Amino acid sequence: MSTLQTTTSTTRPSAQAGDTYFETDTKNIIVYDGTNWRAYASDGSPLEASSYSLKLDGTDDYVELGDVSSLSSAAAFSISLWVNAPTVTSPAETFFRSGTGTGNSITMYQSGSSILFYLGLGSGTNISGITWSGMLLNNSWRHIAAVYGSSSLSLYIDGSLATTSAYNANAVPSATASTAGDDFTIGSYQNGASNELDGYMDDFAIFDSALTSSEVFNIKNNAIYPTAKLKHLYKFENNFNDSIGSLNGTAVNQAQASTDTTRP
């Protein structure tokens, strides 16, 4: 009797189309289609989206994570999330924000038909950012990944690279390290101060390294996360807990895990 070969999500071998493995860390069956790995639950059914998502009312709701230490010292990092909200013209709506207002900061927000990912030390020439313009949300689920690499910032939309740009070296968060991961909030500019998101989020993930294009593709299409890079994952499955680490979130005001809408 033959035995299904095993691997892990971080040690997948070189493969040919049709090669099939059991992944011991994720408990998924993975099949190589000639270009990418496809994941299936161990009962043979395709992986399905979770039934819950984070619901925010755009007024004063957010989730507080506190100090994300992996962002304060990382030479590179990535953040991946699913989001569903109306396209707005004004004011901007924040997906996440960390750091102090005058020091190290990392932020992503939607303004009109654009998505903006910024990092920096203070203001002016010490800010570096990247923008992707296009009708982004409009009450539909989209997957977004922001990647801060060794020399560039990149935005991926729905699993594909949307735009990339060299960053301003003066704006590298790890240059002063101590505040980039402070006061991390999901759905608010800074602890409910302004520009809250009116909509839904799901599977919010924080990595301490730059994701590759294939890793982003597999996160979006197969819910396969590179475990060696993944530091925190918030699935909002009727709670605000960290599925990977121990940095659980705290719901503020009416932030809630909701079954109103299920992402793809």
Is the model's pLDDT at 227 over the cut of 80? yes
Is the model's pLDDT at 162 over the cut of 60? yes
Q: How many CB atoms lie within 10 A of CB 45?
A: 8
The pLDDT tens digits for 163-220 are 998 877 666 655 444 566 678 899 987 655 568 888 899 999 999 999 999 999 999 9
What gap in Å lies between CA 216 and CA 75, rounded to an integer? 19
The candidate with the shortest Cα–Cα distance to 170, out of 136, 119, 111, is 119
User: What pairs with residue 185 in β-bridges?
Assistant: 64, 97
150: left (phi over 0), alpha (psi -120 to 50) or beta: alpha
Provide CATH 2.60.120.200 ranges for the chain: 53-258
What gap in Å lies between CA 99 and CA 90, rounded to an integer? 23
Task: Kindly list the distances between the CA atom of residue 200 and the CA atoms of 137, 226, 255, in Å, as whole numbers in the listed order.
Answer: 11, 24, 10
User: Which residues contact residue 196 at a Cβ distance below 8 angstroms, ignoring those fewer than 6 apart?
Assistant: 56, 57, 58, 59, 60, 61, 62, 93, 94, 187, 188, 189
Task: Kindly list the distances between the CA atom of residue 232 and the CA atoms of 68, 126, 178, 229, 249, in Å, as whole numbers in the listed order.
Answer: 9, 28, 19, 10, 10
Amino acid (one-letter) located at 35: T
pLDDT band at 32 (very low <50, low <70, confident <90, very high): confident
Task: Kindly list the distances between the CA atom of residue 72 and the CA atoms of 68, 76, 106, 184, 229, in Å, as whole numbers in the listed order.
Answer: 7, 10, 10, 11, 15
The candidate with the shortest Cα–Cα distance to 126, out of 105, 148, 145, is 105
Of the listed ranges 80-89, 95-104, 123-132, 176-185, the one predicted with least confidence: 176-185
CATH of 53-258, one of 3.60.40.10, 2.60.40.10, 1.10.3720.10, 2.60.120.200: 2.60.120.200
Burial 13-29 (b: 16+ CB within 10 A, else e): eebeeebebebeebebb
Quote the pLDDT of residue 175. Answer: 42
Is the model's pLDDT at 103 over the cut of 70? no
pLDDT band at 45 (very low <50, low <70, confident <90, very high): very low
